[in-house]
């Protein structure tokens, strides 16, 4: 091999490596749900690479007798703010103190700017072959005699083959949000997105002026929230 050819190969390798690194850089707006993402379709709310993996999983599930339906996927910063404010007002009307209110909300819901749903990589799913009655995303519906229990068994065995991992596992040692058997993240993209997300100065970004109860969210609370809720996920997604 000549020196010129060797140098050319090295340069090609460097360029390819730089391109790969650039592809894994994500803007603050994208990571916090403040952009207008390129979605595969408005109906499924996933970015293209995730949508392609999801469609493959959906086809495999159909062959096994399940119709995987997305209940929620991409969620914007403004949408997450609206969810938070609605819950805060509802809890306040029931007599909860601000501190109790916030703790109640973060059992399942995130502060705006911290939801994995901002990334277009995460899905909440059910079996579309089953009748839709009441609140669909309840733990008991995915266990025992629940309508989505058979789908959960199939997902436990097969979801990872398509890149999907459950972030909020049924692990008593995991802190933060409660167990969500319906929620899956597309690991090949969610992992580098989390890494980029943690490089942001989150303490200055997470309390919008329009957030209900914002005066009761302290720097100490935010630090604990990031440690337990943002990072309280399956080790497979870190």
Q: What pTM was computed for the model?
A: 0.86
CA 238 to CA 86: how far, in whole Å? 31
Selected residue with higher pLDDT from 181 and 23: 181
Quote the mean pLDDT of the chain: 88
Task: Output DSSP code: residue 110.
Answer: P
Helix (H, G, I), strand (E, B) or coil at 184: strand
Lowest mean pLDDT among 92-96, 164-168, 204-208: 204-208
pLDDT score for 9:
44
Residues 6+ apart with CB under 8 A from 202: 113, 114, 222, 226
Residues 86/27/125/227 CA torsion (nearest 10 deg): -70
One DSSP character per residue, 70-106 reads EEE----HHHHHHHHHHHHHHHHHTT--HHHHHHHHT
pLDDT score for 151:
98
CA 84 to CA 102: how far, in whole Å? 9
User: Measuring CA to CA, which residue among 79, 100, 101, 74 is closest to residue 208?
Assistant: 79
Residue 23 scores a pLDDT above 50: no
Rounded to an integer, the average pLDDT of 110-129 is 96
Residue 188 scores a pLDDT above 50: yes
> In terms of residues, how long is the chain?
238
Q: In which band, very low, low, confident or very high, does the pLDDT at 40 lie, cut at 50, 70 and 90? A: low
pLDDT score for 18:
37
Residue 230 scores a pLDDT above 90: yes
CA 199 to CA 25: how far, in whole Å? 11
Q: How many CB atoms lie within 10 A of CB 135?
A: 6
Q: How many CB atoms lie within 10 A of CB 80?
A: 21
* C-alpha separations of 33 from 83, 133, 183, 197, 228 in Å: 14, 30, 18, 11, 21
Give me the domains of the chain, ranges plus CATH numbers: 28-237 (3.30.1380.10)
Q: Which residues of 155-183 are buried (b: 16+ CB within 10 A; e: fewer)?
A: beeebeebbbbbbbbeeeebebbebbbbb
């Amino acid at each position: 091999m000549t020196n010129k050819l060797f140098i050319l190969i090295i340069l090609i390798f460097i360029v390819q490596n730089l391109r790969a690194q650039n592809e894994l850089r994500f803007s603050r707006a994208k990571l916090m749900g403040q952009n207008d993402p390129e979605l595969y379709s408005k109906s499924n709310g996933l970015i293209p690479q995730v949508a392609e993996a999801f469609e493959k999983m959906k086809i495999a599930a159909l062959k096994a007798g399940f119709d995987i339906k997305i209940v929620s996927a991409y969620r914007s910063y403004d949408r997450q703010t609206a969810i938070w404010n609605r819950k805060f007002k509802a809890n306040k009307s029931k007599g909860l103190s601000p501190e109790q209110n916030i703790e109640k909300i973060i059992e399942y819901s995130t502060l705006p700017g911290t939801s994995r749903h901002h990334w277009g990589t995460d899905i909440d799913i059910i079996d579309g072959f089953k009748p839709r009655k009441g609140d669909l995303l309840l733990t008991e519906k995915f266990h025992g005699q629940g309508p989505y229990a058979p789908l959960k068994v199939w997902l436990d065995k097969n979801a990872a083959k398509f890149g999907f991992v459950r972030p909020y596992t049924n692990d008593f040692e995991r802190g933060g949000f409660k167990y969500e058997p319906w929620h899956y993240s597309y690991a090949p993209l969610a992992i580098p997105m989390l890494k980029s997300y943690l490089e942001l100065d989150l303490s200055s970004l997470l309390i919008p002026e329009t957030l209900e109860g914002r005066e009761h969210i302290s720097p100490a609370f935010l630090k604990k929230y990031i440690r337990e809720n943002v990072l309280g996920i399956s080790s497979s997604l870190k």
